[in-house]
Amino acid sequence: MFAVRAGLQKFNIEHNFEIESIIRLYARWIREDKLKVNSDWNKDLQVKFTVQDPCQLVRKSFGDPVAEDLRYVVKKVVGEENFVDMHPNRSNNYCCGGGGGYLQSGYTEARHQYGKVKLNQILATKADYCIAPCHNCHSQIHDLSEHFEADYHTVHLWTLIALSLGILAENEREYLGDDLKEVNMPGY
């Protein structure tokens, strides 16, 4: 998304389409009652969630409006009372250390050391889960939790949306902890 937008701007390429984030669409669909998510599954469990603001999505592309939509969606899915924000956040959030090809660079030890800033930020929230809407962020944050034996799980935003809708299949629950493995199982 960022590369396409930057390329169009840099080379002044005319185009007749708009680039949009799926997170903005989720928020719109929830507001329009087209995506009927529900946080009731977490009322009694009170599992706590925090969210990673991806650099490419927030700082480099859509700014704080997409970060606000991200929080809106998360709160609708897990319950506002179960959301714990990182500090700093939104456009000022720390990079996870896995983007821009660094995840595949082979400098694993350096990536882990850089990622400790994000790790400590997540741990400070005391959240059970870190929602990572970006695949690179998800992989890095998950790897940090395993490498440093941290006590949190990493989950994609769509996984929680599907869980809240009651459509998350058994084989799609790989990154969920035991506390959520059986929650809202579909009855098909």
Q: What is the pLDDT of residue 56?
A: 83
* Residues in CB range of 162: below 8 A, 6 or more apart: 168, 172
Identify the band that residue 2 occupies on the pLDDT scale cut at 50, 70 and 90. Answer: low
The domain made up of 2-6+36-172 has a fold known as Rossmann fold (3.40.50)
Task: With a cut of 90, say whether residue 38 has pLDDT above it.
Answer: yes
CA 4 to chain centre: 21
Distance CA 124, CA 70 (A): 20
Among the listed residues 188, 164, 159, the one whose alpha carbon sits nearest the alpha carbon of residue 176: 159
DSSP state of 37: -
pLDDT digits (tens, 9 = 90+) for 133-171: 988 999 999 999 999 999 999 999 999 999 999 999 999
Phi and psi (nearest 5°) for 126?
A: 60, 20
Q: What is the pLDDT of residue 106?
A: 85
For the entire predicted model, the pTM comes to 0.91
pLDDT digits (tens, 9 = 90+) for 42-65: 999 999 999 999 988 888 888 899
DSSP SS3 for 51 = strand
